[in-house]
Amino acid sequence: MDPSIENDHLEKIRRRLRLRNEQILSIFESYQKTSNENPNRLLVLVESNGTFAVFSLALLQLPPHYESDISIDAIYCVNSFFSINAEVKNSMTFEIVTLSDSPTFHYYPIPSIFKTDFDSFHRQVISAQEAFKSRQELDAASNSFSWLNEYKVDKDFIAIDVKAANGTRPLSKGVSKFQEELKKREQEYITYSDYTFYCGTWNVNGKGCTEHSLRSWLAKTTSPPDFYAIALQEVDLSAKAIAMNDSKIDQTWIRKFLDGLHSEAAYEELVSVRLVGMMLSIFVKQDIRQHVTRYTVSSAATGVFNVMGNKGGVAVSLTLNMTDICFVCSHLAAHMDQIERRNLDYAEIMKRCTFDEVFRKRTIKDHDQIFWLGDLNYRINEIPGQIVDRRDIAGLLKNDQLLQEMRKRNVFNDFEEGPITFNPTYKYDPGTDQYDSSEKMRAPAWCDRILRKGDRIQLILYDNVMEIRQSDHKPVYAVFSVGIKTKDDKKYKRVHEDVLKTVDKYENDNQPQISVEKTEIDFNEIRFNERLTRDFTIANSHHLSANFSFKEKEEQQICKKWFKVEPTTGTLLTGDSLIIRITFKGLDSRNIGEFLKIVKGGGSVPLDILVLHVQDGRDIFITINGEYIPSCFGFDMDLLCRTDRPIAEYSLEQLDELEKSSAKCDFKVTMPREIFFLIDYLSASVESMKDVFFLDRKHSKHHSLNLVRDWLDSWSRQDFPSNKQVAAEALLMLLESPNQPLLHPFEELFLSTESFEVISSYVLKLSPPKRNVFLHLCMFLKEIESKGNNINELAMIFGNVIVKGRRQVPGYRDGRCQLFMLRFLLNKDVASFAVENVQMEC
């Protein structure tokens, strides 16, 4: 390759890496293998003050045509941890072993335009490392890689969003993260292109334009400027204009301007804005008009009461490519002694000129570049007794109020003005170049000024125009070369794609996470009327705080009704853990039937599955298991009559079998032994049967109920383990707990029929166990009625239990159940009917 071309490439790399004293020692061309593509990589060994680094550069095209084709992919410090190996012939590996799990980077060589083969590159890197090491031994302190800091790309977020983790800011959502990343990497796709801005200002003293042409003011550059910002003051001094705060654009001026612009380019008016005497017009070259993507105008009056527009400012805000620019035209308070007032006017315009945007108000400050033009009215202080030579510009400038105020930082902070090399612009006898010869003999001053603020603005010209003589002011102009941020589309596309991937990864890596001690909760043995609890721990060992909640499933419940979960929602900060308690609330005569329906299916079905939801993260299923130990409560009278041994000796599956095979399996007894045992026990003490059955079922939570349960389930021959109130409650529970009430399937018929004969006929149609239980009960109730019990109350208690079963709402009683019971119990024939029809033997 031609050495000059090679130098050209080298120069591009130098510029791209912003190298100053650093030396490029060697360049090696290679590529990497990633899952989708094999991107080119240029490896560049760079030395700076005895430390070395290998830059891995990504290239849009090879060789690079533009500086912007080059971006930095990675930087490896050639320190003592660095190693470069030629593992396989013609392939190379960088290993950085500062961390045990750090990755190894593989590069594969390709024929080089830089004429460096792998061996010589390898040799140079090795010798660089040797040089570093030997120098390190001499002076450990001076080995600084700090020169690499400016290349560092912040990649921390990929694993951990540190600020989100420590709570100093909320976790960025995808969109804002995306914008944040794009902005962060702006320098990778922003290039600057220079535009020429012409700014002119002129106080026209209330007169229309009488000049033949404004070309002597506006066409001052050899090549045509890209933008014109032309500011006028005192366009109309009439009282009417002032009173109306006139803002109508004076088109004769616009035509005059268009006529006077540089003749070698076609311009169009972008926008003009006027407030009484102040008018600001922006003209743009037609071929760059499309690069202006936004513009708005604003104005602020600072005249009388800060509302009259004879003084104040007008402004245009625009976006050119990616740079926000503001032009301000102002006319500040007049007179030698009004310095303070002028400073205030400036502050007022800065504050009150705002530009409406969709989501906020932009102020003048919120621009990358600001150009401030106008009759600022600052004068030249006169020092008594000192005679000033009006031709001594340097001498006059020492007393210029604006420069003095700016030095004191009273006004136009951080604005800059070009050096003034022209005569004061005020006050002349109109039509001449003579300073004011009127009675007032106004002292000359540089009233008309052009200031700017922002980076990458270079002043090219700053002058006045003496030969335009119609006003008492001379026009002033300044030409700037302005660096405008421009998006490099190719580079932007690459960064955009890259950022999308980054944000995907960010989102996936920054999902809040909760770990769960166990996902299977086992209650082991579950029994009727027993409350159990199980605890498990959930913890957040992830870097983000996590909000969790148990998700509602069917019927808006997070769990089945016999479970309770506490707490159901919460927040876990990093490092926090929390105990979740699951309570098995216990089965009672109201819910046992439903519970049995679910567990009967078989042992492998979980009792419940909870869904633990982590906000913005995954859902975790918590399975609840447990084995139900059957009890007589909840089973139908028919089934209880088929058992040939105590319930406790059956498994749930065996009972299920027994139920399913009902056709071939005869009843072993006429009525369930459990019912018989209870009635038998109660009848034995029938002499004192007062206060045994209670409407409010106040013994339903009695502590000895479980002893009674076990006594029944084992057909125990021991003495009854409790008292008759508990026995009475157990009887009621046994009657109401099956899925079907005792009088099923004729419940409604019993309620709606008044004839004893008809009722009797239906009683006879009940299944034998149910019929027997019912008739036994009637005989029992008649018996205790005769011992002084209130039959109305007994009818109320039992009516609900045997007709409605557990289906009744707690506390609700259907009066018809009581009526039915009374009708039956009080019938004179009931005793004989019962005796006749109760079945004594199977």
Partner 1 sequence: MSSSTSHNYNFIFKFIIIGDMGVGKSCLLHQFTEKKFMANCPHTIGVEFGTRIVEVADKKVKLQIWDTAGQERFRAVTRSYYRGAAGTLMVYDTTRRSTFNHLSSWLTDTRNLTNPSTVIIMCGNKSDLETMREVTYDEAKQFADDNGLYFFETSAMSGQNVEEAFIETARIIYQNIQEGRLDLNASESGVQRRTNVLSGPINGKNTDMKENCQCIV
Site residues, partner 1 (CB under 8 A) = 35, 174-175, 178-179, 249, 271-273, 290, 293-298, 319, 356-360, 487, 489, 492-493, 496-497, 500, 503-505, 507-508, 511, 519, 553, 604-606, 609, 611-612, 618-621, 623
Which of residues 505 and 765 has its CB atom nearest to partner 1 in the complex?
Answer: 505
With b meaning 16 or more CB within 10 Å and e meaning fewer, what string describes 814-838? Answer: eebbbebbbbbbeeeebeebbeeeb
> How many residues make up the chain in this entry?
842
Estimate to the nearest angstrom the gap between the alpha carbon of 787 and the chain centroid. 76
Pick 521 or 778: Cβ nearer partner 1: 521
What percent of the chain is helix, strand and coil (3-state, nearest 5)?
Answer: 35, 25, 40
Q: Which two structure tokens, joined as six digits, stand for 706?
A: 């479980």
Q: Which is nearer to partner 1, 77 or 249 (CB)?
A: 249
Which residues are CB-contacts of 47 (< 8 A; sequence separation ≥ 6)?
22, 23, 25, 128
Q: How far is the CB of 333 from partner 1 (least distance, A)?
A: 26
Tokens 């009173």, residue?
Answer: 243
> Smallest distance, Å, CB 303 to partner 1?
20
Cα R_g (the chain), whole angstroms? 48
Q: CB-wise, 619 or 829, nearer to partner 1?
A: 619
Residue pair 456/483 in contact by the 8 Å Cβ criterion: yes
Contacts of 426 (CB under 8 A, 6+ apart): 203, 442, 444, 445, 446, 447, 448, 472, 473, 474
Closest distance to partner 1 from the beta carbon of 502 (Å): 11
Residue corresponding to tokens 């007008």: 314
* Closer by beta carbon to partner 1, 290 or else 432: 290
Q: Which residue has the tokens 């590529």?
A: 31
**281's tokens:** 């017009």
Nearer to partner 1, 417 or 608 (CB): 608
Question: Of the two residues 308 and 620, which places its CB atom closer to partner 1 in the complex?
Answer: 620
Min dist. Cβ of residue 384 to partner 1 (A): 48
- Please name the residue that has the structure tokens 């032994």: 673
CB of 612 to partner 1, least distance (A): 7
CB of 759 to partner 1, least distance (A): 44
> Considering the complex, what minimum distance in angstroms separates the CB of residue 60 from partner 1?
13
Considering the complex, what minimum distance in angstroms separates the CB of residue 263 from partner 1? 26
| CB nearer partner 1, residue 119 or residue 554 | 554
Closest to 766 measured CA to CA, from 778, 782, 780: 778
Secondary structure of 680-721 as H, E, C letters: HHHHHCHHHCCCCCCCCCCCCCCCCHHHHHHHHHCCCCCCCC
Nearer to partner 1, 45 or 297 (CB): 297
Residue 353 or 777 with smaller CB distance to partner 1: 353
Gap between the Cα atoms of 515 and 542, Å rounded: 9
346 membership: H or E segment, kind and range: helix 339-352
What are the tokens at 507? 């989102």
DSSP labels for 491-547?
HHHHHHHHHHHHHHHHHHHT----EES-SEEEEEEE-BT--EEEEEEEE--SSS-EE
Minimal distance, residue 317 CB to partner 1, in Å: 10
Measured from the CB of residue 355, what is the shortest distance to partner 1 in angstroms? 8
**In angstroms, what is the minimal distance from the CB of 627 to partner 1?**
16
Name the minimum Å distance from CB 689 to partner 1.
Answer: 50
Residues 455, 366, 492: CA angle, nearest 5 degrees:
65
Q: Return the closest-CA partner of residue 330 out of 402, 224, 396, 267.
A: 402
Q: Cα(first)–Cα(last) distance of the chain, in Å? A: 114
Minimal distance, residue 321 CB to partner 1, in Å = 10
List beta partners, residue 422: none
The distance of closest approach from Cβ of residue 377 to partner 1 in the complex, given in angstroms and rounded to an integer, is 27
Which residue, 29 or 608, is less far from partner 1 as judged by CB? 608
Exposure on the CB side of residue 88, measured as CA atoms within 13 A: 5
Closest CB to partner 1 among residues 236, 674: 236
Of 162 and 605, nearer to partner 1 (C-beta) is 605
- Pick between residue 538 and residue 730 the one whose CB is nearest to partner 1: 538
CB 198 within 8 A of CB 229: yes
CA separation for the pair 435, 390 (Å, rounded): 10
Q: Are 611 and 634 in contact (CB under 8 A)?
A: no
